Structure 1
């Protein structure tokens, strides 16, 4: 005898169950995104942070001691200073911008200094180097840096002048208008075009408070 086709009631029940499962997954995803945003979205400079980071001149003064930790730059060599807190979940969002800059310019075009909080362990520093390569130098922050948040970066022209300081991007996903935004700044600096100083710090996104010696982040 030929097999009978599935009963309409059974097919409808399976469709309903599948719809419920998909709906539950969507709700869980939205709830997870909401939780992530509530935990990590904050102003780059909060009201209780060091508000002097709103002033490019002060930022330049704070950045200058970091440059002494690197060999002198060549005539067309810019400097990327990457501020990295290993305990910040937002690193994964800025990583593609950082990786893009590293890939776009070789060591003759751009030197890289990674600055970590004073609370960073030796093991965390070693792990960063293992994952990112030995091209970049990584150090713990010097006294007096007082950074408000991370992930963050500074771009310095070959003359040692600040061009850009601030966030890799804003919003819950730390996005910028174009992936070429930061490479374009570096190309202008290397071509001796005037740029900055520009402090891109007014906005909210996925940022972590920069820990001090008595904070874990």
Structure 2
């Protein structure tokens, strides 16, 4: 009798944990709601940036919008680091931290194990049309918007064939005027700004 109680309890516990993981994954596969006051930023539009980013016009600029409290942002760190490692000689990279909590530049750099610029300016997200994290923004040398969207179709950034951020970098570096991305690349998924809500 005790054996069956333990087995039943373990099955219920396992089922509850599995349901929790399924629900969490399902929530983050839903598009992030578009804010009521959202203003579209079009591809090719000039993005006006302040110092220190304004001076970075020697090569394309990749902005990584990151919220340390967002699970999707944390899953994305490895993918972002691989892009920096592969393209850092051809592209300028910067992390734009989107949170209401206080973090230092050093804390964010330590999370990524990268020595790249870290900014805490939500106005950059507004000017680029970003309303969730993680999001990738790629600007050309003249700071015109080339790409704004997701890193990957997979929440864990594991699908190479849907590595949208990498495709955008490759396209820009190969002088492709535009790349036709599908809805899963361009529709925002993840944590809604600024408080990591859905």
- TM-score class normalised by the smaller sequence: 0.7 to 0.9
Residue number among 73, 82, 86 corresponding to 2:64 in the alignment:
82
- 1:189 is displaced (CA, Å) by 1.6
In 2 relative to 1, CA 158–104 (structure 1 residues): closer, same or farther, beyond 3 Å?
same
Distance 1:103 1:174 in 2: 16
Distance 2:149 2:45 in 1: 12
Residue number among 35, 43, 48 corresponding to 1:48 in the alignment:
35
Which of the pair is proportionally richer in strand? 1
- 1:48 is displaced (CA, Å) by 3.5
In 2 relative to 1, CA 197–119 (structure 1 residues): closer, same or farther, beyond 3 Å?
farther
Residue number among 185, 188, 201 corresponding to 2:186 in the alignment:
201
Q: Give the TM-score normalised by structure 2.
A: 0.72
Distance 1:85 1:42 in 2: 18
Distance 2:34 2:56 in 1: 36
In 2 relative to 1, CA 165–47 (structure 1 residues): closer, same or farther, beyond 3 Å?
closer
Are 1:116 and 2:97 matched, yes or no? yes
Please tell me whether the aligned partners of residues 31 and 187 of structure 2 are also in contact (alpha carbons under 8 angstroms). Answer: yes
Residue number among 114, 118, 137 corresponding to 1:138 in the alignment:
118
Q: Give the TM-score normalised by structure 1.
A: 0.67
Larger radius of gyration: 1
In 2 relative to 1, CA 60–119 (structure 1 residues): closer, same or farther, beyond 3 Å?
farther
- 1:187 is displaced (CA, Å) by 2.6
Which runs of 5 or more residues in structure 1 are unaligned?
1-13
Are 1:100 and 2:82 matched, yes or no? yes
Please tell me whether the aligned partners of residues 65 and 136 of structure 2 are also in contact (alpha carbons under 8 angstroms). Answer: yes
For residue 65 of structure 1, what is the aligned residue in structure 2? 49
Q: CA RMSD in A?
A: 3.6
| 1:95-114 Cα deviation digits (max 9, x unpaired) | 232122112123x2121111
The number of residues matched between the two structures is 191
